[in-house]
Chains A and B, each alone.
Chain A
Amino acid sequence: MTRWMDEEAGPVVRPYALIGGRTRSSGDALDLVAMVTATGGAASGGFVPGPEQERILTLVTTATSVADVASELDLPLGVVRVLLGDLQDHGLISIGRASASERILKEVINGLRAL
């Protein structure tokens, strides 16, 4: 079974260096499929986005899920959470999630059938 273990585990890296060793900020309970959208406003509190955060802001001019942000930018999820938390704290992005209604689920069922 070790074969499968090896397949799933990646190399040891230090993504936390990117975010100064912090784990989470207000991005704490961020849902993986919550939608991130740039507000287009100015940053509060004299905050200056870092280069990775600038890339995020460019990406989320159209609503993008947290998981897609991580995937597109090829950054681990925990790092993305912290970067998003800072952007949210300074008013540069909004994060939200629409819940699934019966109508949406029926649409998904029909959409899957049509695949």
Chain B
Amino acid sequence: MDFEPSDEPVALKILIAGGFGVGKTTLVGAISEIRPLRTEEVLSDRGIGIDDTDGVEGKTTTTVAMDFGRITIREGLVVYLFGTPGQERFWFMWDELSYGALGAVVLADTRRLTDCFPSIDYFEQRGTPFIVAVNCFDDADQYDIEEVRSALDLDPDVPVLMCDVRRRASAKTVLITLVEHSLRVLTASQA
């Protein structure tokens, strides 16, 4: 094919991770056009007593609604946001979601900081660029960024910022911080 690279449509994938109630859905909704998207959770191992009359060998699935947002930068350049449920039963989704991802936003709530440990461990291991965005809930004690960084034992180059993802401007800053970080990681890997 004779295309300039710029003629090929480019789609980028950003993951929004963190525990339940931390603000993933709010963030996706504040910044993007939310779209319905379902994936399957296969429950075949769990012996759920639903009978199989259709001849399909004992496979029962639940569909799980995912946070899915789309930001069109220009024609042919789209950023997709995927919210990734943080608990273990959804981990089957993580590998496919993180494959080829530009990066991840790990949302943290200082009242339950440990909720984001699995996400941080996961992205560190996969080598997926990530940032930590501390969602400032009204009734939470205020911590400074360095306190959060050391509590999470983050590498010094991982950006940490405070946010209120109910506000579009704040959600925007979070995404820009991530893409700038991903750009630094990409540039460093090519140097």
Contact = CB atoms under 8 A, between A and B. Distances in A.
Interface size class of A (residues with CB under 8 A): 35 or more
Contacts of A113: 172, 176
Contact of A8 (B35, B42, B64, B102): B64
A106 B100 CA distance: 18
A77 interface: yes
A10 interface: yes
- The dominant DSSP class at the B interface is mixed
Contacts of A21: 55-57, 59
Interface in A19-74: 20-21, 23, 29, 31-35, 63, 65, 67-68, 70-71, 74
Contact of B9 (A35, A75, A77): A35
Contacts of A29: 99
A3 to B, nearest CB: 8
Interface residues of B, number: 60
Contacts of A20: 56
Contact of B74 (A10, A33, A79, A111): A111
Q: Which 10 pairs of residues, A with B, have the shortest CB-CB distance?
A: A111-B73, A4-B20, A21-B56, A33-B11, A98-B8, A77-B39, A105-B183, A78-B40, A10-B63, A76-B38
Interface of B: 5, 8-13, 20-21, 31, 35-43, 48, 50, 54-57, 59-65, 68, 70-71, 73-74, 77-80, 82, 85, 87, 90, 96-97, 99-100, 102, 172, 175-176, 179-180, 182-183, 186-187, 190
20 contacts: A1-B20, A8-B65, A8-B90, A10-B38, A12-B61, A13-B61, A14-B54, A17-B56, A32-B80, A33-B11, A33-B12, A65-B11, A76-B39, A76-B63, A78-B40, A100-B10, A101-B5, A107-B73, A108-B12, A108-B77
